[in-house]
Amino acid sequence: MDFALIFLIFLVLFFSFSLASNDVTMSPVIGSRALSIKSAVIFGGILSFIGCYFFSAGVGKTVGQNLINPSVNYDIPMMLAVVLSTSIWLIIASFTGAPISSTHSVVGSVFGVCIVWAIDSSSSFLDSLNWTVLGNVVLNWIISPMIAFILGYVFQWILKNFLKKFYTNLLKIESIEKFSILFLIITVVWMQISRSGNDSGKVVGFFFALTQSGDIQSNLVNFLIALAGITAALGLILVGKNVLKTVEGSIIGMRPTDAISVALSITITITLYTALGLPISASHTVIFAMFGASRMKGERPEKKSYHKMIKSWFLTFPIAAGLAALFYSIFLIFQI
Amino acid sequence: MKKEKRNILQELFIENANVTEELLKSFCNTLLSFSKGSNELETYVRKTIELENKQDSIREEIINKMFGKDVMVFSREDRLKIIQDLDLIGDIAERTARRINTYKPKQDLEIFNGLEWISNKLFKLSEELKLLVVNIFEDFDEAKKNISNINLIRSEIRDKEYELLKRIYCIKLELYDFMFLNDVIKLTASIANTIEEFSDSATILICKYTL
């Protein structure tokens, strides 16, 4: 194995670690006091590993193999450019507080390196990508938040109308909410596994790409996926608790029943797309599920934050593409 | 309707409400004894003070348990508000009982009958208060009725308060008698006002926790 390959694998594993360190999937069980932060991150770490190891392959193959045409030699410098641009854009966006999509970032980066590849190899850019797959992926970036919004609205409506007649005194409310904690934990377990499966697909995609380019043997893929799962678990356990502590303050006192409608809509949306092998933005799914549930209660999102989010959503793809193109160009110039 | 099982913390809340009712009734007996010139005044004052101390110790126990494992679903702030409000009612009743025991003014039939009337109303108010606390846990619809009754009784007490205040200004009382009766009337009415404020908080609580 040469140095560049080892460096790429290390960077990809670090990417897996950093993705998981910003994962707030377990926040509903902390906010409703179902679990402590310590228990939640350890439990979440185990679930992240399960999601990554068993459920990331479908999305991984879409991102790592099916998106790019076989005519393109998707080599190590290209992958390095994609990982670097995604990671850097994630860090920049985190500093500004904008919730961006790592999925949009990865796919945008792949788009960017393909443009440079086409110029460098004097080939047609149109032949570099599988436009059907890309079109499908981009279309579902628009459809998936809409599905999450609708599901969030519907579940909140069902829960509200079903529970109304039972909320007649504090004792009853308490026993219903306590029972709901169990259901919430089950839902969040499912959510963590499916989100981890979909998120890790972006990481695992690199390993599938490396097998396609012949840089690694296919029998190594499972081992690398397991390593990615372990680094994801560590990311959540070691660093993720700090993010969850920050989020905890804003969601403390959340009723389990409120959290369930949101968690269910997120889980169903992400599970559906993970099963279809399509990478979606978990962040946008979470946000739009919460919008749907809030809208049902007659609440509207704060305009400034909403516009900031939409702006960063549209900017991610071109900026990631631009950064990846820049890095790949540098690698080509210096023949890395 | 199937009755839900209460846990230890909820039982403490109900016990606090029971002790508050007992305290208020003891205060009512203090006021009645004062109005009738009875020898049992000291006894009832002592009993009121003891019950206020008991209320304080239950409050401390609730606060300790609130930060333990046995925690209710509704927020700590709301739980604290309930016990602080009940504690305030008890404090005013205890202070008023002590005040009543400091001086013996000249008898005025109208004023003392008025105080007796207020005492009887406070008796009913203490029962409604206890029921309100219980019904917050067991039946919101009944709690709304308790709130309505509390508002009504408090309004009647307020009218009587101003009637008595007018009286003490109109008749030429000696300075100490005037100061004393002014304090007793206002402090007694403030118990009813504080109970009514608690019922307002209960309304907000019910709105907050129903869907």
What's A237's DSSP letter? I
Tokens 């709901």, residue? A180
CB-CB neighbors (< 8 A) of B208 in chain A: none
Contact B74 A174 (CB under 8 A): yes
pLDDT band at B2 (very low <50, low <70, confident <90, very high): very low
pLDDT (tens digit per residue) in A81-125: 999 998 888 878 777 766 778 888 888 999 999 999 999 888 888
Token couple for A209: 């790409």
Nearest Cα residue in chain B from A162: B211
Residue in A with minimal Cα distance to B10 = A171
B8 in A contact zone (CB under 8 Å): no
Cα-to-chain-centroid distance, residue B122: 8
Chain A CB contacts of B10 under 8 Å are 171
- Phi then psi dihedrals of residue A25, to 5 deg: -55, -35
| Chain-centre distance for alpha carbon A17 | 13
Neighbours of A88 (CB within 10 A): 16
Q: Which of A170, A177, A253 sits opposite B137 (nearest CB)?
A: A170
**Do the chains contact at A169 and B210, CB–CB below 8 Å?**
no
The Cα of B200 is separated from the nearest Cα of chain A by a number of Å equal to 17
Residues in Cβ contact with B15 at an 8 Å cutoff, skipping those fewer than 6 apart: B58
A175 touches chain B (CB under 8 A): yes
The residue of chain A with its CA nearest to that of B11 is A171
pLDDT at A171: 84
| Residues lower than pLDDT 50 in chain A | none
pLDDT band at B96 (very low <50, low <70, confident <90, very high): very high
The answer to whether residue A255 neighbours chain B at the CB level (below 8 Å) is: yes
Question: How far apart are the C-alpha atoms of A327 and A276, rounded to whole Å?
Answer: 31
What the block records as the tokens of B193 is 């006002």
Q: Is B131 on the interface with A (CB under 8 A)?
A: no
Residues B24-66 have pLDDT tens digits of 999 999 999 999 999 999 999 999 999 999 999 999 999 888 7
B140 touches chain A (CB under 8 A): yes
Residue B171 in contact with partner chain A when CB distance is under 8 A: no
Inform me whether the C-beta atom of residue B4 falls under 8 Å from chain A C-beta atoms. Answer: yes
**Taking CB atoms and an 8 Å limit, are A173 and B209 in contact across chains?**
yes
Query: Contact A170/B209 with Cβ under 8 angstroms?
Result: yes
Q: Provide the shortest C-alpha distance from residue B2 to chain A (in Å).
A: 10
pLDDT band with cut points at 50, 70 and 90 for residue B69 = low
Q: State the burial class of residue B179 (Cβ atoms within 10 Å of its Cβ: 0-12, 13-18, 19+).
A: middle
Structure tokens at B85: 């409000």
Amino acid identity, residue A229?
A: G
What would the DSSP string read from start to end of B3-67?
PPPP-HHHHHHHHHHHHHHHHHHHHHHHHHHHHHT-TTHHHHHHHHHHHHHHHHHHHHHHHHHHT
CB-CB under 8 Å, A168 with B72:
no
Q: pLDDT over 90 for what percent of chain B?
A: 79
Long-range contacts of A36-41 (CB under 8 A, 24+ apart): A37/A241, A37/A244, A37/A245, A37/A248, A38/A241, A40/A244, A41/A236, A41/A237, A41/A240, A41/A241, A41/A244
End-to-end CA distance of chain B: 19
3-class SS letters over B74-119: CCHHHHHHHHHHHHHHHHHHHHHHHHHCCCCCCCCHHHHHHHHHHH
What pLDDT, on the 0 to 100 scale, is given for residue B77? 83
With CA atoms as reference, the chain B residue closest to A160 would be: B211
In this prediction, residue B1 has a pLDDT band, given cuts at 50, 70 and 90, of very low
Residues B125-146: what's their mean pLDDT?
95
pLDDT per position as a tens digit, A233-287: 998 888 887 777 766 555 555 678 888 888 899 999 999 988 888 888 888 888 8
pLDDT of residue A303: 72
- The answer to whether A157 and A296 have CB atoms below 8 angstroms apart is yes
Contacts with B27 (C-beta within 8 Å, 6 or more apart), sequence order = B44, B48, B93, B94, B96, B97, B122, B191
Distance of CA A319 to the CA centre of its chain: 18
DSSP secondary structure letter of residue A25: T
Q: CB count, 10 Å around CB of A304? A: 8
Q: Model pTM?
A: 0.74
Structure-model confidence comparison of residues B114 and A256, the more confident one: B114
Q: Least CB-CB distance to A253: which of B4, B6, B75?
A: B75
Residue with tokens 């909820």, as numbered in its chain: B10
Cβ-Cβ contacts under 8 Å between A and B: the total is 46
> For position A212, what pLDDT does the model report?
83
Contacts of A282 (CB under 8 A, 6+ apart): A25, A101, A103, A195, A198, A199, A266, A270
CA atoms of A199 and A77, how far apart (whole Å) = 22
DSSP state of B73: S
C-beta atoms surrounding A174 within 10 Å:
20
Q: Is residue A200 within 8 Å of residue A279, measured between CB atoms?
A: no
In this complex, do B73 and A178 lie within 8 Å of one another by their Cβ atoms?
A: yes
β-partners of residue A68 are A129
Does A251 lie at the interface with B, CB-CB under 8 angstroms?
A: no
* Interface test with chain B among A169, A184, A260, A261, by most B beta carbons within 10 Å: A169
pLDDT of residue A253: 57
Q: At what angle do helices A221-234 and A3-21 cross, to 10 degrees?
A: 40
* Rounded distance between C-alpha atoms, residue A173 and residue A180, angstroms: 10
**Nearest CB to A169; choose among B5, B75, B139:** B139
SS3 A20: helix
DSSP secondary structure string for all residues of A259-324: HHHHHHHHHHHHHHHHHHT----HHHHHHHHHHHHHHHTT----HHHHHHHHHHHHHHHHHHHHHH
Rounded Cα gap, residues B208 and B74, in angstroms? 10
B174 contacts B106 by C-beta, under 8 angstroms: yes
Contact yes or no for A104/A280 (Cβ under 8 A):
no
CB contact under 8 A, A169 and B135: yes
